[in-house]
Amino acid sequence: AQRVTQPEKLLSVFKGAPVELKCNYSYSGSPELFWYVQYSRQRLQLLLRHISRESIKGFTADLNKGETSFHLKKPFAQEEDSAMYYCALSGRGGGADGLTFGKGTHLIIQP
Amino acid sequence: DAGVIQSPRHEVTEMGQEVTLRCKPISGHDYLFWYRQTMMRGLELLIYFNNNVPIDDSGMPEDRFSAKMPNASFSTLKIQPSEPRDSAVYFCASSFGTRELFFGEGSRLTVL
Cis-peptide, bond into residue B61, ω within 30° of zero: no
Instruction: Give the pLDDT score at B82.
Output: 96
Instruction: Give the pLDDT score at A54.
Output: 82
Contact assessment for residue B49 and residue B92, using Cβ atoms and an 8 Å cutoff:
no
On the question of pLDDT at A93 being above 70, the answer is no
Instruction: Give the pLDDT score at A2.
Output: 83
The C-alpha angle with vertex A23 and arms to A20 and A25, in degrees rounded to 5, equals 160
On the question of pLDDT at A95 being above 60, the answer is no
Q: Calculate the CA B70 to chain-centre distance.
A: 14
Instruction: Give the pLDDT score at B32.
Output: 95
Q: Do A94 and B56 touch (CB under 8 A)?
A: no
User: B108 falls in which pLDDT band (50, 70, 90)?
Assistant: very high
**How far does the CA of residue B99 sit from the closest CA of chain A (Å)?**
5
**pLDDT tens-digit series, residues A10-38:** 999 999 999 999 999 998 878 889 999 99
Q: Do A46 and B101 touch (CB under 8 A)?
A: yes
Which of A34, A49, A103 has the CB atom closest to B42's CB atom? A103
**pLDDT tens-digit series, residues B23-78:** 999 999 999 999 999 988 889 999 999 999 999 898 998 899 999 999 999 999 99
Kindly report the average pLDDT of chain B as a whole number: 94
**How far does the CA of residue B112 sit from the closest CA of chain A (Å)?**
25
User: A92 falls in which pLDDT band (50, 70, 90)?
Assistant: low
Name beta bridge partners: B67.
Answer: B77
d(C-alpha B16, C-alpha B10), whole Å: 18
For A47, name the nearest residue in chain B, comparing CA atoms only: B100
On the question of pLDDT at A94 being above 70, the answer is no
The C-alpha angle with vertex A72 and arms to A68 and A75, in degrees rounded to 5, equals 135
User: A96 falls in which pLDDT band (50, 70, 90)?
Assistant: low
Q: Which residues of B touch A (CB under 8 A)?
A: 3-4, 31, 33, 35, 41-45, 48, 50, 55-56, 59, 91, 93, 95, 97-106
